[in-house]
Amino acid sequence: MPSNTPPQQSLLVRTWNLLSSTLGRSASQPLSSAALIASAMEKSGSKVSLPADAATGLEHLVGALNESADLHPFGRYYVSELLVGLLSNHLKLLTYQAAHPEVINAPVSRPLIILGLPRSGTSFLFNLLACDPEHRYLSNWETTVSQMPPRQATAREHDPRRRTGRFLMAFQRYLAPQLEHIHEFYLDGPEECTPILMQSFATQALAGMFNVPGYSTWLDHVDHRPTYLHHRGALQVLQATYPAKRWLLKSPDHLAALDCLLDTYPDACLVHLHRDPVQSVASWASLNAAFRGICASRIDNTELGQQVLQRLATDMDAYLAARRRRPEHGVLDIPYKRLIADPMGSVSAIYGHFGLEFGGSARSQLSDFLAKDREKPRSHRYTPEDFGLSGESIRERFADYMSTFDLGPGKPASSG
């Protein structure tokens, strides 16, 4: 793969950019955080102010987008709509919480949270655990459309947000069809926490989706506590409409914020999946190349590879430091190879470790899922060399992580 790759653009994107150029609009004005906030306040109808921490994150992100993202005209429109949507949802949540204090006083008890680098088996485990009807997980339409309850009580399958979510998923598939071969998206979930975390503008997901190295540098020292308080508030609003016995959650972003995650959910049940990070870095670079292709005029794959490597490794360094500070909070560590070799046994071990009941309904649905999953085609192909990296350079950067958990080619992860 060449270092500089022209993104594959849909007919809509090519036409949009051509018309913009013809009309003399190719050199657009820089994005403005103030204008984005004003648009979000109008869209949401909210009178509350955006919290200072989120405003700061937005300012750093917008500054980096203007500096280095190389957005084409459609990309600028797409990013503006994305950011206004995130802001609007954040403001709506604040307004709703202020009007319903009983909602934010409700507990979020013992959430089961999956940790791990991308492509380390976390999505597979997420789907396995989601088979348990006792688990409440996020749906795609809850995270991307809105966390606000429908005006009239309704069953989940008739929720109006679900129709909007179906359209947004189809539009994303049209803009970047290759995403479907890299990461599975389910309309009804289970969906990662990432879209909700993005509403506070302090997440590595945004650093991957766009070429914003200045923003990524800012993330190295950001305080994630406000982000996780907002995350908890979103769960509280969501569970008021569709109650939760136990939340099942996952996001690669959780690694960078272990202290804040545990401060927010002190009784959380944490499961960490471990795998040689070579697969994680290459896969994450491939996913973000697809996202960048929606908005950017060009993609430098070598630059992207270095950005992904440093971002994921820096987050892992923060995670390791936090675990060493908090040895009293036991994390169940599971090797990827063990999960793949014995999915049912691995899930049973999780239930046993945390004293949860692994009922017959959960076992039956999990068996059905495994039978169907074995028949799925796997077509995603990528290598570190596609992004100017090598297995050796990745393992060298993750040396502390790999030695801590006895990882490496042919080595299992420890189960401590």
Taking residues 236-252, report their average pLDDT.
95
Q: Is the pLDDT of residue 415 over 70?
A: no
Output the 3-class SS for 325-391: HCCCCCCEEEEHHHHHHCHHHHHHHHHHHHCCCCCHHHHHHHHHHHHHHCCCCCCCCCCHHHHCCCH
User: Which amino acid, one-letter code, is at 115?
Assistant: L
Express as a percent the part of the chain with pLDDT over 90. 83
User: Which amino acid, one-letter code, is at 352?
Assistant: G
Give the residue carrying structure tokens 């070598």. 302
Distance separating alpha carbons of residues 79 and 65, to the nearest angstrom: 9
Instruction: Return the CATH number of the domain spanning residue range 4-404.
Output: 3.40.50.300
Give the residue carrying structure tokens 């403001």. 91
In terms of Cα–Cα distance, which of 190, 191, 193 is closest to 203?
Answer: 193
pTM of the model: 0.93
Q: Is the pLDDT of residue 322 over 90?
A: yes
In terms of Cα–Cα distance, which of 119, 409, 394, 398 is closest to 279?
Answer: 119
Cα torsion angle, 240, 44, 254, 105, sign: negative
Q: What DSSP letter does each residue of 270-332 carry, written as one string?
A: EEEEE--HHHHHHHHHHHHHHHHHHHBS-EEHHHHHHHHHHHHHHHHHHHHHHHHH-TTS--E
Taking residues 89-107, report their average pLDDT.
95
Q: In the structure encoding, which two tokens stand for residue 322, read together?
A: 């936090």
Instruction: Report pLDDT for 132.
Output: 96
Q: Which residues contact 39 (CB under 8 A, 6 or more apart)?
A: 80, 84, 87
Taking residues 251-262, report their average pLDDT.
97
Q: Is the pLDDT of residue 374 over 90?
A: no
- The confidence band for 251, taking pLDDT boundaries of 50, 70 and 90, is very high
Type and span of the H or E element at 342: none
Are 409 and 277 contacting, i.e. CB atoms less than 8 angstroms apart?
no
Q: In the structure encoding, which two tokens stand for residue 33, read together?
A: 């955080």
- Of the candidate ranges 18-27, 61-70, 363-372, the one whose mean pLDDT is the lowest: 18-27
Question: Residue length, the chain?
Answer: 416
Taking residues 313-331, report their average pLDDT.
94
User: Does residue 190 have a cis bond before it (omega within 30 degrees)?
Assistant: yes
Are 200 and 230 contacting, i.e. CB atoms less than 8 angstroms apart?
yes
pLDDT averaged over the chain? 92
Q: In the structure encoding, which two tokens stand for residue 395, read together?
A: 């393992």
